Amino acid sequence: MQTDFEHNFGLDNSKKGAISGKMFGVLVVQNQQNEIGYITAVSGKLGEKNKHKKFVPPVYDMLTKDSFFLKEKETLRNISIELDRLENTAEYLKLRTLYEQETNKAADDITEKKEALKKAKIARKLKREKAFTELSTEDYETLINILSKESLDAKHYLNNVTRFWEHTLKPIKEKLLIFTNQITLLKEKRKTKSTALQIYISKQYQFLNSKKEVKNLGELFTNVSIQNIPAGTGECAAPKLLQYAFLHDLKPIAMAEFWWGKPPNKEVRKHQQFYPACQGKCKPILTHMLDGIEMDTNPLLENPAVGKKLEIVFEDDELIIIYKPNDFLSVPGIHIQDSVYSRIKQQIKGVSGPIIVHRLDMATSGLLVLAKNKNAHKIIQSQFINKTVKKRYTALLDGIITENKGIINLPLRVDLDDRPRQLVCYEHGKPAETKWEVIERKNGKTKVHFYPISGRTHQLRMHASHSLGLNTPIIGDDLYGKKSDRLYLHSDTLEFAHPITKEKMKFHKKADF
């Protein structure tokens, strides 16, 4: 049992401190004597420490006493403190407010004077035009001279107004510049030092592989600027475990990572559940570290739709309704071309245009409407955009939902560090709304109907699994729950207007679970 650190995982109400669940990893290894054992690691730090009993050390320990990182971090902290002091100085705030107020007054005054002069100019023009037809040549010339002098006086007046405000604002601006120049210099200094520190750190994180080849973060993220390398890169459990294994001539056999503790607010993480390494932070590192090691076949490169057929539920000259089995792509993927799109192109004659109007996740089964021509595609797609298409899904959830129905509103966006996983994000996420109702509770599972109002990526899966949603993942959801024989999510009902006849069309295909 660990006793060398204190950390609040959110599982014990008596624990103090900020709550934070953690990812842990276990790597089964073989030593030079062919003995099998295991090593363990934690992502990031625990109890503000990097080194713990029974856990492998970090690839680079930034927390070593008197390290360059800690010294530079302290320098940056002091710069930030000085910046905060300057930006909140009473005199600076007073001058900034005064300058803003006087600048606005100047702008308003000059605009007002310009408008008055513009009206006077129009009046002079009308006088000239009228005088041309009514006055004698001598009187007309006299008037023209008077009006010309008025025009010059007006320009001179406007110049005087402008100079007055410049003179009024100049001393305030000069006093303000004493502060703003210092603030600008400090910000530039902080930025320069921060970039230099990031470059330094990226060179310290040096990752081995089984061939003893070494690459640092800068080399591994060649297409990403140092500032855009995700925070915490290199601190995950998987790179730590492999680094320790290669340093000590241990052969990696199998590895797994699991979450321990309360889930974060944005992501879906379940206590004691296994998760793969992330894409954004770990993929470039692990691609290098695992080079030369025999791996299991990547399931993403295998076509799970082999031997499966598409069932045509309805077809006319404009559209096709098909039943898509689970584990069947809607459109061609990067590695697998076999899909609803490619099958329909091959099987149905006279099909043209984009064909695909909407999609289902590869793992989701159910009804899809396809357009046989460009015009039908445009009309049906507009119904999806305008949310006039009615959809219903059946799902089997891995737990008991006590309430009978409700509405979930959780905005979603892609996890930039771990595509295609989604995050709940109130700042940058797109609105996502789902109505739901319970159909059946049986054997510790709950069958529900989902009615998605919006159609965001992984919306139903996220709304089911996230702690702010139903907090109960769909059975077989290998991204947000646990893997099973399939994803128990099925699109069973589609209702929309025919693109030509405008007749209401409704289709239903009951889930086989």
Report, as residue numbers or ranges, the catalytic residues. Answer: 361
CA 85, 88, 89, 95 torsion-angle sign:
positive
Tokens matching residue 435: 């109505």
Backbone dihedral region of 234: left (phi > 0), alpha (psi from -120 to 50 degrees) or beta?
A: left
Give buried/exposed letters for 197-214 (b at 16+ CB in 10 A, else e). Answer: bbeebbebbbbbbbeeee
Comparing CA positions, the residue from 268, 224, 235, 228 lying closest to residue 25 is 235
Partnered with residue 474 across adjacent β-strands are 397
Q: Which residues contact 461 (CB under 8 A, 6 or more apart)?
A: 361, 473, 474, 477, 479, 480, 481, 489
Q: Which residues contact 3 (CB under 8 A, 6 or more apart)?
A: none
Q: Are 53 and 4 in contact (CB under 8 A)?
A: yes
- Residue at 272: amino acid letter: Q
Residue 50 CA to residue 62 CA, distance in Å, equals 8
As a whole number of Å, the end-to-end CA separation of the chain is 43
State how far Cα 409 lies from the chain centre: 17
User: Helix 90-134 vs helix 137-204: angle between axes, to the nearest 10 degrees?
Assistant: 150
Residue 307 CA to residue 323 CA, distance in Å, equals 15
